[in-house]
Amino acid sequence: MGSGRRVYRMNSLTPLVLALLGLLIIAGFLYGRSFLTIIALQRELARIEGEIAALELRNEQLQLELERLTSPEHLEEVARRQLGLVKPGETIFYIAEPADDDGP
């Protein structure tokens, strides 16, 4: 008992323990990659859902604008103001502005 060295012997369980440890490391690595992929996909899904919500809101706004622009009231207003159209039996009066008499 003089040298103070210990001699470790490999028993039959050591290869099994190493194999299990290796499998745990591989499983942890694969799970970690899958976990990161899931997180990335969840972020992408949230981004896309946000885009969909914004597009649905814009679509609703455009539908309301289309309904307003195609309403009979709006069409009549445009016909009168921009095209100068009148209904049968109506008379249009134009108010003349006085001419400048500052002449040349």
User: What's the pLDDT tens digit per position in 18-61?
Assistant: 888 889 988 888 888 888 899 999 999 999 999 999 999 999 99
Q: Tell me the one-letter amino acid at 98.
A: P
Supply the pLDDT for residue 29: 83
Q: What element of type H or E holds 72? A: helix 72-81
Identify whether the C-beta of residue 66 lies closer than 8 Å to the C-beta of residue 60: no
Q: How much is the pTM?
A: 0.52
CA distance 74 to 82: 12
Cα(52)–Cα(54) distance, integer angstroms: 5
20: tokens are 């299990």
